[in-house]
Amino acid sequence: MKDFVIIGHKALTSGDFSLNDLPGSAGRMDILCRCVNSALFLSHGMRRDVNVHLVLQGEPDPAKVVRFNGEKLKYLNPDERSSGSLIKKALEKDAIEYETQSTPGVYIRRAGLEQLLNEFSEAGRDIYYLKEDGEDIREYSELNSDAVFILGDHMGVTEEEEVMIDRVAKCTLNIGPISLHSDHCMIIIHNELDMREA
């Protein structure tokens, strides 16, 4: 399993937003929608061995985690509005300590970045922090396909979050010489893993 974690600093924590304005009405939810697409879609089908965890930290009721599971997922199309509508449906459910499935393969619970990191760490997973000044992913030989990748949104990663991540991360990885959008970084991570697995 590959797990992608993306932090949505302003992403709304209620379903009270418009699919016609994902950037404005939903706290840059468009970024998270594109991350869902990048993490999961192949030309003809879905990457079944992937989870994407959206850490929603915006108003009115932070923090919540929405998880897309490639194995169980249904009703997802590649356009932003499609993932946006599944996120909206998840946010219309009550978020409790345990995951509730809102639609096939989409789950919501009350949790934040720290808890998610602790769970991955306790499960013994290799956790990688994606950052512009990290080690070159192409040169990093230990990368395996059972890894967890942590990425920031348009605001990057705060200092506090970075302290939490550094505590559990195996190392910091760079995907190229330029700072890119998080969804673009995911494509490059997948490509690197695809090349190694081929």
Ligand X SMILES: C[S@@+](CC[C@H](N)C(=O)[O-])C[C@H]1O[C@@H](n2cnc3c(N)ncnc32)[C@H](O)[C@@H]1O
Please state, in angstroms and rounded to a whole number, the distance separating the CA atoms of residues 173 and 181.
Answer: 15
Per DSSP bridges, beta strands 41-42 and 2-8 are unpaired
Q: What CA–CA distance (Å, rounded) separates 59 from 103?
A: 23
Given a contact cutoff of 8 angstroms between Cβ atoms, the answer to whether 75 and 103 are in contact is yes
Query: According to the binding rule CB under 6 A, does residue 187 interact with ligand X?
Result: no
Using rule CB under 6 A, residue 171 touches ligand X: no
Q: Name the binder of 151 from ligand X, its own copies, none, CB < 5-8 A by kind.
A: ligand X
* Sites for ligand X among residues 151-170 (CB under 6 A): 151-157
Whether 33 and 87 have beta carbons less than 8 Å apart is answered as: yes
Is residue 171 part of an annotated ligand binding site? Answer: no
Residues in region 169-188 near its own copies by CB under 8 A = 175-181, 184, 187-188
Nearest distance from C-beta of residue 97 to ligand X, angstroms: 28
Residue 157 binding target from ligand X, its own copies, none, CB below 5 to 8 Å by type? ligand X
**Could you write out the DSSP letters of every residue in 97-127?**
SS-EEEETTEEEEE--HHHHHHHHHHTT-EE
Q: Which is nearer to ligand X, 60 or 177 (CB)?
A: 177
The residue range among 15-23, 52-60, 108-116, 163-171 that interacts with its own copies, by the rule CB under 8 A, is 15-23
Q: Is 37 in the site for ligand X (CB under 6 A)?
A: no
CB 62 within 8 A of CB 7: no
For residue 130, say whether it is annotated as part of any ligand binding site. yes
The reply to whether 141 sits near its own copies by the rule CB under 8 A is no
Say if residue 35 carries a ligand binding annotation: no
The two tokens of residue 196 are 């190694």
> Chain centroid to CA 194: how far?
19
Q: Is 56 in the site for ligand X (CB under 6 A)?
A: no
Selected range binding its own copies among 18-26, 91-99, 114-122, 164-172, rule: CB under 8 A:
18-26
